[in-house]
Chains A and B, each alone.
Chain A
Amino acid sequence: NAGVTQTPKFQVLKTGQSMTLQCAQDMNHEYMSWYRQDPGMGLRLIHYSVGAGITDQGEVPNGYNVSRSTTEDFPLRLLSAAPSQTSVYFCASSYVTGTGSYGYTFGSGTRLTVV
């Protein structure tokens, strides 16, 4: 049981490049989400999904796209990387409820640097 798997662990991009951060979970969790972690700030929600085919924006969605074609996978796409997107990105999943009564399982994170 692998839990939540994120790839890559590290990435350096040039400004304007695009890339996809991968996230996969094998726990049959309906809810998946992406966060970014910046110094001095809490984890901030980028996008989330409550099931295959359903996605929604979080607190800081600009510059990012997501899709959810299967229950297992929730990739995050950076369309045109900017230095402001330098951050550590975490994928997290849980069983879905509208009340948040299940804790998250987090991936190990992707450290992204945009130069």
Chain B
Amino acid sequence: ILNVEQSPQSLHVQEGDSTNFTCSFPSSNFYALHWYRWETAKSPEALFVMTLNGDEKKKGRISATLNTKEGYSYLYIKGSQPEDSATYLCARNTGNQFYFGTGTSLTVIP
């Protein structure tokens, strides 16, 4: 009931392609949805914090949307670059606790 699901589990795209992936979560007791970017051998870094239904956030070529009523968020990457290769995590906040998905591993092929 608390599970955060991410799909796909992994993704390979060509440089220049645009891509998107999904985070699904229970819509009840929702406070916030976080997206993190996790490069190999580094720590996760916060990309977006989203709290309101219909929220859209953007940082450069990366953007995210949030639908709290149906319990999903999309992360979009426009014109993927090799440096975008990473695992993208989402996490749902239920007050003082965060529940993370297992991530989408993105590989951008030059």
Contact = CB atoms under 8 A, between A and B. Distances in A.
Given A42-B89, A43-B89, A108-B43, A101 B96 contact: no
B31 interface: yes
Given A45-B98, A48-B97, A104 B51 contact: no
Interface in A26-82: 31, 33, 35, 40-45, 48, 50, 56, 58-59
Interface string B90-101: 010101111111
A30 to B, nearest CB: 11
B71 interface: no
B101 A99 contact: no
A104 B58 CA distance: 18
A107 B43 contact: yes
B32 interface: yes
A80 B88 CA distance: 34
Contacts of B96: 31, 48, 50, 56, 96, 98, 100
Interface in B94-110: 95-103
B49 A102 contact: yes
A114 to B, nearest CB: 22
A90 B98 CA distance: 14
Interface in B47-104: 47-49, 51, 89, 91, 93, 95-103
20 contacts: A40-B102, A42-B4, A42-B99, A42-B102, A43-B100, A45-B97, A50-B96, A58-B97, A98-B31, A99-B31, A100-B31, A100-B32, A101-B51, A102-B49, A103-B48, A103-B49, A104-B34, A106-B43, A106-B44, A107-B43
Interface of A: 31, 33, 35, 40-45, 48, 50, 56, 58-59, 90, 96, 98-109
Interface of B: 4, 31-32, 34, 36, 42-49, 51, 89, 91, 93, 95-103
